[in-house]
Amino acid sequence: MSAPANSFFAGIEVTQTSMRGVAVSADGEVVVRREAAHQPDNLLSDVANIVTSLREAGEIKCVGIALPGLVNRETDRVLVSTGLPSVVRADLHSELIKATGVKFELENDANAAAYGEYKVGAGRDAKDLFYIHIGDAVGGAIIIDGKLWTGASGCAGEVGHTTINTEGIQCECGNIGCLETVASGPNIARRARERLDRDSTSSLSRLAITDDFTAADLAHEATNGDDFSIMMIERTGKYIGTAVAGIINLLSLERIVLGGAVMEAGDLLLNPIIQEAGKRSFHPCFESTKIVSGKLGADAVAIGAALLARDA
């Protein structure tokens, strides 16, 4: 890198309720990390505050900001965001620059995480990769020959909105039975709740004593050996593995990296994903694809955003 050793790049992940920022060195190492609560109405001042606190690292050359929405990087505009509608406005990019005095790059959150894993995480030595983010929503991104491939519409890789159950429930996108309707964190918890209501043997599960558990609680109980929770995680893995098999057959990329909060369930979830993908994909394609968990954890989006800004 040509950047001097004392200059840094910042990456900020913005969700509906929080911001996570990192300052990274030119080689992608995190030197400062900040988390803050966030109100969508205060976007500009919240971003400015987090940039100020990331300056503790040194001079910030530029900032990558990752948002839950469809971003056109040519025009620096967010085109659609169901999670954060307030960012869909023409002057966002220029206002961010005005509020902080630094250069900004806007990117979709899954694209940013994919880029982070590709550059400094679980995709480091791969030529091409597909990244799947499984958290409150299910997103995806494709990197081919070192570049994000976003397709004609700009939203290629939206694996969360591929149909997994033609008779399933309606997704936020309008379609019926998307992968997201069974595999996102809130939907895993919903499926578990419905099943606990239906099945009397499930009431032996420790989860049955509370109604407001999350996917993280379910993963925790599964790790502690709760049969019901293990079964729910395995079934979720089968759904995700089915989608992964489709990706393998279509693209035959060298690596598939799975990240996001739901993947914190670890091998309990990763193993059934790999097993199902193997069962449902064309054997030679499956054999040449490595399916792994992300390495950057909760920092993936922010690190990737910083590296996209570095490389822009």
Read off the tokens for 292.
């792994």
Task: Find the binder of Zn ion among 43, 112, 155, 178 (CB under 5 A).
Answer: 178
24 bridge partner residues: 9, 30
Stretches 105-113, 161-169, 195-203, 278-286: which one binds Zn ion (CB under 5 A)?
Answer: 161-169
Q: Is 173 in the site for Zn ion (CB under 5 A)?
A: yes
Residue 175 or 214 having the CB closest to Zn ion:
175
User: Cα–Cα distances in Å, from 170 out to 4, 129, 177, 179, 220?
Assistant: 51, 29, 6, 11, 28
CB nearer to Zn ion: give 114 or 171.
171
Residues 294 and 298: their CA atoms lie apart, in Å, by 10
Nearest distance in Å: CB 178, Zn ion: 3
Smallest Cα–Cα separation from 110: which of 241, 291, 311, 294? 294
* 182 three-state secondary structure: helix
**Residue 163 binds Zn ion, judged by CB under 5 A:** no
Q: Of 4-12, 167-175, 196-204, 291-299, which segment contacts Zn ion by CB under 5 A?
A: 167-175
Q: By C-beta, is 247 or 302 nearer to Zn ion?
A: 247
DSSP 163: B
Question: Which among 26-34, 95-103, 144-152, 172-180 is the span making contact with Zn ion, rule CB under 5 A?
Answer: 172-180
Least distance to Zn ion from the beta carbon of 167, Å? 15
Residue 161 beta carbon to Zn ion: minimum distance, rounded to whole angstroms: 4
Which region among 168-176, 202-210, 254-262, 277-285 touches Zn ion (by CB under 5 A)?
Answer: 168-176
Give the integer Cα–Cα distance in Å for 1 and 19: 28
Instruction: Tell me how far, at minimum, the Cβ of 171 lies from Zn ion, in Å.
Output: 3
Q: How far is the CB of 164 from Zn ion (least distance, A)?
A: 10
DSSP 170: B
Least distance between Zn ion and beta carbon 89 (Å): 24
Classify residue 243 by burial, with Cβ atoms within 10 Å: 0-12, 13-18, 19+: buried
By CB under 5 A, is residue 171 in contact with Zn ion?
yes
Among 34, 161, 191, 310, binds Zn ion (CB under 5 A): 161
Q: Least separation, in Å, of the C-beta of 82 and Zn ion?
A: 10
How far apart CA 37 and CA 22 sit, in angstroms, is 15
Q: How far is the CB of 86 from Zn ion (least distance, A)?
A: 22
Of the candidate spans 153-161, 188-196, 218-226, 267-275, the one that interacts with Zn ion by CB under 5 A turns out to be: 153-161
Q: Phi and psi dihedrals of 224, rounded to 5?
A: -85, 5
Question: How many residues of this chain bind Zn ion (CB under 5 A)?
Answer: 5
CA-based Rg of the chain, rounded to a whole angstrom? 20
Confirm or reject binding of residue 191 to Zn ion (CB under 5 A). Answer: no
Whether residue 221 contacts residue 206, with contact meaning beta carbons closer than 8 Å, is answered with: yes
* Token pair in block for residue 248: 């393998």
Q: Across 206-307, where does the E strand assignment appear?
A: 255-259, 290-293
**Binding-site member from 86, 175, 252, 271 for Zn ion (CB under 5 A):** 175
Options 53-61, 113-121, 148-156, 157-165: segment touching Zn ion (CB under 5 A): 157-165
63 contacts 105 by C-beta, under 8 angstroms? yes
Applying CB under 5 A, the residues found at the interface with Zn ion are 161, 171, 173, 175, 178
